[in-house]
A and B are shown apart, each in its own frame.
Chain A
Amino acid sequence: MMLTKKQNLMETIKGGNPDRFVNQYEFMDIILEVPVRLMCAPGTEMKNDWGITFRWPEGQLGQFPVHDEEHKVLKDITEWRKYVKAPVIDNTDEAWAAAVAHANSIDRNEQFVTAFVAPGVFEMCHHLMSMEDALMALYEEPEAMHELIDYLTDAELNYAKILIDRLHPDALFHHDDWGSQKSSFISPAMFEEFYLPAYKKIYGFYKANGVKLIVHHSDSYAANLVPYMIEMGIDIWQGVMTTNNTPELIKKYGGQISFMGDIDSGVVDFPEWTPEIVDREVERACKNCGKLYFIPNLTQGLNFSSFPGVYDSATEAIDKMSKEMF
């Protein structure tokens, strides 16, 4: 008998005997029907609950925070208390009805009921004040940055309490991009000082409240941060790009953390995509990374592709590789 999606995932990340590749996001049923505004629609603009303005221009692949003087929320880090106000989360039964209904409809033996959080603490800092300001403030106003990060962490914990209370999630899928394609945005030492403590608190809280699986999204280079990922309790790093040398990471850290990705979205997911390109990339990823501590997946941070058909094509290609390799 075939393992369930959940069992197969556990075998894969515990170094046991999976009977096939975990196929992309199949093990998570992600609950997005929460009363928090996450995204604006293509071609529109929105102000989120923190006052951050996002624009998704027509024809673009995603939304961008707007940081001209008029729209920047946090204009002076030393006065963050004046500018940054955590929103009050609507915690009524009515507001959570759709999310709860979704959670209740999931077979918890088959899949992980997965809570979704984005953006994380690092992204929140640069969404509030722009990347340049957020990075320079780590040097220029470290105390104020520590205070701001603590405040953002508390806000995340407040939301976590509600998520746990309402959905009793088995897994958390949490976004926070920590790097570019080639390097982490900040040095490991700075990451350890500023962001590791925040995430130890956040992920520790979920783990202490019934969440068995922490999946963190960062579609970037972040190989130099993996020891901190392990320390903060991440079970699966989703979005690992090929620039990280995923097979080497698996060799080095497999058993402590697993890696999900190694199929760079930019390489397969574009208007002129073909199933042949997808097959080639999936085969390379599966053969190089192997059966344990690895989940073949597009690096994109949710279970779809920007161009129709690419995600499903990858799913098919992974099934093919399962038949060939298992």
Chain B
Amino acid sequence: MTKITEVKAKVEAGKAKLVPGLVQEALDEGSAAGDILQAMIDSMGVVGEKFSAGEVFVPEMLMAAKAMSKGVDVLKPLLTGTSTSSLGTCVIGTVQGDLHDIGKNLVAMMIESAGFKVVDLGVDVSAEKFVNAVKEQENVTIVACSGLLTTTLPAMKEAVQTLKTSGLTGFKVIVGGAPVSQEMADEIGADGFAPDAGSAAVKAKELASA
């Protein structure tokens, strides 16, 4: 096994203590930082797929993300200026009136692992706050609105429509959370929907690269 495949396997297995050493060894072996990063992004993609399929659960996903983040720490000094943020920035938040953050945090983590820069606005985020973040942050390509409560769907609709009619461009809006469906996403004018954190990252990537 080459070091880079080992990095990949250990990220997937969530071995946060082993990954930094292996990343260093892969670098020493001559692998390019960008390639090592891509290998880790790929393994997070695999973890996301397994989560969507019900083969792994939240702890496994958290551990894999932690392992990747430890690996990225080793790469960071070497990555400045390379194309790692070509996917742009994702602004994410739980919509106004809703304080649930576990699902939103998982989505943020998976989207970050897919190669986005993530700006997390937290919970109870108003439509205006989403719009301001798009204005203030650089190169926003995705805005992700989360909600768990049926009762906060009107707030989600408001967020999506305020973003869409703000005159701002260059970004797509994705929505998700327990009561949200593709049908509902279409109805409120969102560009994308994903049923779970793994597929949210896939959807975000797809929309940002379109």
Are the C-beta atoms of A64 and B63 separated by less than 8 Å?
A: no
**B-side interface residues, number (CB < 8 Å):** 24
Residue B179 lies at the interface, judged by CB distance under 8 Å to chain A: yes
Number of interface residues of A (CB under 8 A): 27
Partner of B57, one of A132, A181, A190: A190
Given A266-B149, A270-B151, A187-B62 contact (CB < 8 Å): no
Would B103 and A190 count as touching, CB distance under 8 A?
no
Contacts A266-B178, A271-B151 hold; do A136 and B124 have CB atoms under 8 A apart? no
A183 at the interface (CB under 8 A from B): yes
Contacts of B196 in A (CB 8 A): 182
What is the minimal beta-carbon distance from A241 to any residue of chain B, in angstroms?
10
A187 and B150 contact, CB distance less than 8 A: no
- Do B14 and A139 touch (CB < 8 A)? yes
Among residues of B, the one whose C-beta sits closest to the C-beta of A60 is B99
Inter-chain CA distance A139–B65, complex, in Å, is: 13
Complex CA–CA separation, A12 to B13 (angstroms):
45
Given contacts A139-B14, A181-B178, contact A61 B149 (CB under 8 A): yes
Asked, given contacts A131-B102, A136-B63, A266-B178, whether A183 binds B57 with beta carbons under 8 Å apart, the answer is yes
**Inter-chain contact A266/B62, CB cutoff 8 Å:** no
Asked if A322 is at the interface (CB within 8 A of a chain B CB), the reply is no
Q: Which residues of B have CB within 8 Å of A64?
A: 99
- Residue from the list B14, B63, B179, B195 in contact with A182, Cβ < 8 A: B195
The residues of A that contact B59 with a CB separation of less than 8 Å are 135-136, 138-139, 185-187, 190
Nearest Cβ on chain B to A30's Cβ, whole angstroms? 24
Residues of chain B in range 163-201 having any CB-CB distance to chain A below 8 Å? 178-179, 195-196
Would A60 and B97 count as touching, CB distance under 8 A?
Answer: yes
Q: Find out whether the CB atom of B150 lies under 8 angstroms from the CB atom of A266.
A: yes
Cβ of A129 to closest chain B Cβ, rounded Å: 13
User: Considering the chains assembled together, what is the distance between the CA atoms of A140 and B56 in angstroms?
Assistant: 17
Shortest beta-carbon distance from A265 to chain B in Å:
8
A187 touching B97, Cβ below 8 Å: no
The CA-CA distance from A181 to B148 in the complex, in Å, is 10
Residues of chain B with a CB closer than 8 A to A60's CB: 97, 99
Complex: chain A residue closest to B105, CB-CB? A132
Give the Cβ gap from B99 to chain A, nearest Cβ, in Å.
5
For residue B54, which residue of chain A has the nearest CB?
A: A183
State A136–B57 Cα separation when bound (angstroms).
Answer: 11
Q: How far is the CA of A61 from the CA of B149 in the complex (A)?
A: 9
User: In whole angstroms, how far apart are the Cα atoms of A132 and B57 in the complex?
Assistant: 12
In chain A, what residue has the closest Cβ to B177?
Answer: A181
Contact assessment for B62 and A136 in the assembled complex, using a CB-CB cutoff below 8 Å: yes
Provide the bound-state CA to CA distance between A183 and B59, in Å. 12
Interface residue ranges, B against A (CB under 8 Å)? 14, 16, 54, 56-60, 62-63, 66, 97, 99, 102-103, 105, 124, 149-151, 178-179, 195-196
Q: List 25 A-B contacts (CB under 8 A).
A: A59-B97, A60-B99, A132-B102, A135-B62, A136-B59, A136-B62, A136-B63, A136-B66, A139-B14, A140-B16, A140-B63, A182-B195, A182-B196, A183-B57, A185-B59, A186-B58, A186-B59, A187-B56, A187-B57, A187-B60, A190-B57, A266-B149, A266-B150, A266-B178, A306-B151
Q: Can you add 17 more A-B contacts, CB < 8 Å, to A132-B102, A187-B59, A269-B150?
A: A60-B97, A60-B99, A61-B149, A61-B151, A135-B58, A135-B62, A136-B63, A138-B59, A180-B103, A180-B178, A182-B195, A182-B196, A184-B57, A190-B57, A266-B149, A267-B150, A271-B151
- Residues of A participating in the B interface, judged by any CB pair closer than 8 Å: 57, 59-61, 64, 131-132, 135-136, 138-140, 180-187, 190, 266-267, 269-271, 306
| A-B pairs, 7 with minimum CB distance | A135-B59, A266-B150, A181-B178, A270-B150, A187-B57, A64-B99, A131-B102
